[in-house]
Amino acid sequence: MKAVNHKDIVLSHPDSKKDTGLWFQDSIEFSHGVSLRVKIKNVIHRLQSPFQEIVVFETEHLGRMLVIDGITMLTEWDEHAYHEMIVHVPLLVHPKPSKVLIIGGGDGGTAREVLKHPEVTGVHICEIDEAVINVCRTYLLSLASSLDDPRVQIFYEDGARFVTKGEGTYDVIIVDSTDPIGPGQTLFQQAFYENMKKALSEEGIAVTQCESIFLHQGVIEGVFAFARDIFPQIGYYYTLVPTYPSGMIGFFFCSLRHHPFSQIDAERAARLKGLKYYTPDIHRASFSLPYFAAKYFQPL
């Protein structure tokens, strides 16, 4: 296998004469030496923004693929498993999720799922890198078309600073961030979680992307160590995403009042259109963790 490095991207040509394709290899810097290889047809777009390198591939079998700084963000094939779970878990627990803040989420997938809830009257998206939104609006319309909805307002700012501006404003905050390296690093720190709490309304819920229980236990333990002292209700849950290095990724559920799964609004869930992954049963089951992970968390 001959590898070709393009800054943070690793593309490889197989040695086998039977396979003349090109493969993308996920960066292993943040994944304990575990990597992912996806066969691609071609590079559709590549851009170095002021913050990061953004690449869109056309894959052989998984649709289009978004890669940032050499790390897989999504493929069209399995992105629903991530976006449905980061959104519908908090929105179906909150009794009336009217105002929603999305930090990150420039691809539009999280907004697409939020907008399936008719109770939502306004969605603020705070994305630090305008280039992410511009690229996705051009090349990933199955997600980014949601950004043109009149209920959506986009702010190009640092999410850690933006969240300090709206005390008591949001019913739900969803942090759809990159890994805790580069621009996403501040979103895994105690001060950010404290400011999220202040930005929530009285019954507010925040959900944050928080890595894999297999690969990033140190990150998860670090967040839990301070988050449990900030929010009265806290839980950790996960979803299965085959094109992420460990095949899964998790989220922290941080609530000022509501338990993460004791009162799921099943009637509202049944009215949601176009779901591929989320169900109320999956919702409940996703909080059940294997022993090696559960021992790091207090019982719900």
153 DSSP β-pair partners? 124
Tokens 């575990």 — which residue? Answer: 34
Integer CA distances (angstroms), 10 to 3, 94, 204, in order: 7, 42, 41
Distance CA 110, CA 254 (A): 18
Report the C-alpha gap between 159 and 34 in whole angstroms. Answer: 29
Question: Active-site residue among 69, 176, 179, 281?
Answer: 176
Rounded to an integer, what distance in angstroms lies between the CA atom of residue 255 and that of residue 91?
Answer: 12
Is 176 known to be catalytic?
A: yes
Matching residue, tokens 């498993």: 81
Question: Which amino acid would we find at residue 240?
Answer: L
Amino acid at 131: A
Adjacent-strand bridge partners of 103: 126, 175
Rounded Cα–Cα distance for residues 168 and 153 (Å): 18
Residue of 228, 238, 217 lying closest to 295 (CA atoms): 217
Closest CA relative to residue 257, chosen from 286, 283, 232: 232
Check if the beta carbon of residue 233 is closer than 8 Å to that of residue 294. Answer: no
Distance CA 59, CA 53 (A): 18
Catalytic residues, by residue number, are 176
